Each structure stands twice: as C-alpha cells, then as structure tokens.
Amino acid sequence: MSRNPERNDRKSGKKGPVKPVFNPRSGDASAGARPGGWNPNPPAKAFSTAAPRAGRGKVDADGFLWGRHPVLAALANPARKGMGRLLATAERAAEIEREGTANGHRIEVMDAPTLERLLPAGAVHQGLAFKVQPLDGVALEDLAEPAEGIIVMLDQLTDPQNVGAIFRSALAFGARGIVVQDRHSPVLAGALAKAAAGATERLPCARVTNLSRALERLADLGWRAVGLDGASDERLETALDHRPTVLVMGSEGDGIRRLVAEHCDVLARIPMPGGFESLNVSNAAAIALYEATRKQRPLD
C-alpha cells in the first residue's frame, strides 16, 4: 500500500445522529447470526455478489467460474438452483454424482482439452467449470444491521487476485461482508472467484455508487471507519477497538482516495519493523482483519 501524505486529512467522530432506517430486505445479512452477537462462521446464503448493471464490463470468459472450490460453492448456493451450465471431465462428473453435489444441475461431460478451449488461457479448472449469470448482491443496510462485527470496504481495487484473496480472508475471519464501488471493481467471477476459493458465493457483497456516501450511511447506523494508510502516524492496533468497524482498503497503487479518507474516523498503518515500505493489499487486509477480530472478540 503506497504512502500518500494527502491521505492524512480525515474527519473524526460520528457523522451525525442515527437516522431511521429504511431497509426493504430486512434481516438478510444477519441470517445465522448468534443472539446478541455476530456470527464468525456465516452459513452459505441464497445470494450472489455481482448484480448485472450497465457499464460493468464483460464477465470473465462469458460468465464462467472454474476450479473445484468455486464451482462446488456455487452449486451449494441455493440462488444458483436450476440455472447455469455445469461442465466437468469424466472423473469430476463421477465425483459430483457420487457425492450428490450437483444440486439439480445436469452435468455436461467433456475431456480436459475441450474444457480448456472454453476458458481463458492458463485457467486452472481442475476438471470443473460452471457458466453462470451474475445474481443480485445485497443492500448496504443488509450488511450494516445490526451494527456488530466487521465490514470490509474496497476503494477501487481492480486486481482480481487481490480482491479474491480479500474475500477469502474476510470470510475466514467472520466479516459481515464486502462493500465495493460499482463502477471500479472487477466482476466476481473467473480468476477472482478462483482466488476466493468459493468465498464470493458465501460472503455478502454490496455494490454502491459512492463510497463516501456509503461511509456516511454506515456512520449513521453506528459503524466506525478505520482506513489503512502507510503514511499515518497511528498504529493499527491502537486505532482499532471493540466497536463495529469498517476496514477501508485502498487501491494497489494509490491507496485510499482523499475524499474516502476524509470520511474515515481514523487512518492507521501496519507497523513494519523490517523496513520494507509496503505490503500487498490482500496481505494487509488479512493482518487488519486479524487485528480487528482480536479487538472485538477472543479468537479460538
């Protein structure tokens, strides 16, 4: 994550009184939560994380997921029932039939070279691919209510490997979900879904038009935003506490944009005594998620 002195500008404190909430899909994000607390191991839910909208670009390889973990996770998602084209080598098809994981999808059996020709060059498909259409994500309020736990916000991250790795870490540490800007984030399929190892099917994602306004809304709902900035004087472990936390991660090159940083309650850095200037953003996200989880509840 790059150093940028401009990102030291920030606002402190809450963004005004809590306002009445209009939530047309009340309860979706908290399904499976423990009474009085947040659920560190959320169950698979009937949603996906990529709502089709104009201007979002072409889905990887015409909407394909590939690899064992992403495909099996998609097959287990109730929202995928009765849709999609499931392709498998004979060995994988036999495994799916034996374990009963097709969930009503008809398997098209083909040899590995034929399957490879349908996917991008170098795709590690492990004998499985699933052609799907994007499904609706969740509303911001669905992630935010009740105000408990951790939400991860990604400010214009574009590398599919990094975004996929962050989804995987966020699910592992029990985050409530991911918030991205609709126009500047990759489609949750293909290489991203492969890097996420199925997490994109299990972790809610809200696509918003404006991240700054989303942070204002989250503040109204009782959330505190902590942005990661390598140039900050504040250390991450002192910036975090037990309160509901939005971890804001900046882009691979420029970090958090100025206006988004100004809507964070605090900017903080990960101390690096080894002297190296920065970490890969997905590695930084994993460290931040660990620290934030440790502050909020004991780790098993």
Residues 265-288 pLDDT 10s: 999 999 988 766 678 899 999 999
Structure tokens at 162: 């990094």
Contact 293, 299 (CB under 8 A): yes
pTM above 0.85, yes or no: no
State the pLDDT confidence band at 64, using cuts at 50, 70 and 90.
Answer: confident
CATH number given to 60-131? 3.30.1330
User: What pLDDT score was predicted for residue 183?
Assistant: 83
Average pLDDT of 126-134? 86
Strand 128-131 and strand 85-88: the pairing is antiparallel
User: What pLDDT score was predicted for residue 113?
Assistant: 92
Question: pLDDT digit string (tens) for 174-197?
Answer: 999 999 998 877 777 777 877 888
State the pLDDT confidence band at 59, using cuts at 50, 70 and 90.
Answer: very low
Weakest mean pLDDT among 110-114, 130-134, 213-217, 247-251: 130-134
- Confidence check: pLDDT of 40 > 70: no
In 3D space, the residue among 253, 236, 239, 166 whose CA is nearest the CA of residue 205 turns out to be: 166
> What percent of the chain is predicted at pLDDT more than 70?
76
User: What pLDDT score was predicted for residue 185?
Assistant: 77
- Confidence check: pLDDT of 211 > 80: yes
Selected residue with higher pLDDT from 58 and 150:
150
- Confidence check: pLDDT of 108 > 50: yes
For the chain, the first-to-last Cα distance in angstroms comes to 29
Structure tokens at 50: 């990529």
User: What pLDDT score was predicted for residue 146?
Assistant: 94
User: What pLDDT score was predicted for residue 141?
Assistant: 95
Q: Across the chain, what does the average pLDDT equal?
A: 79
- Confidence check: pLDDT of 111 > 50: yes
- Confidence check: pLDDT of 11 > 60: no
Question: pLDDT digit string (tens) for 291-300?
Answer: 999 998 766 6
CATH topology of domain 5-44+136-296: Alpha/beta knot (3.40.1280)
User: What pLDDT score was predicted for residue 166?
Assistant: 96
Contact 49, 185 (CB under 8 A): no
Residue ranges per domain, the chain? 5-44+136-296, 60-131
Q: Report CA torsion sign: 189, 191, 194, 195.
A: negative
236 Cβ contact list (under 8 Å, min separation 6): 226, 228, 268, 269, 270, 271, 287, 288, 291
User: What pLDDT score was predicted for residue 41?
Assistant: 37
State the pLDDT confidence band at 263, using cuts at 50, 70 and 90.
Answer: very high
> Residue 92, exposed/middle/buried by CB under 10 A (0-12, 13-18, 19+)?
buried
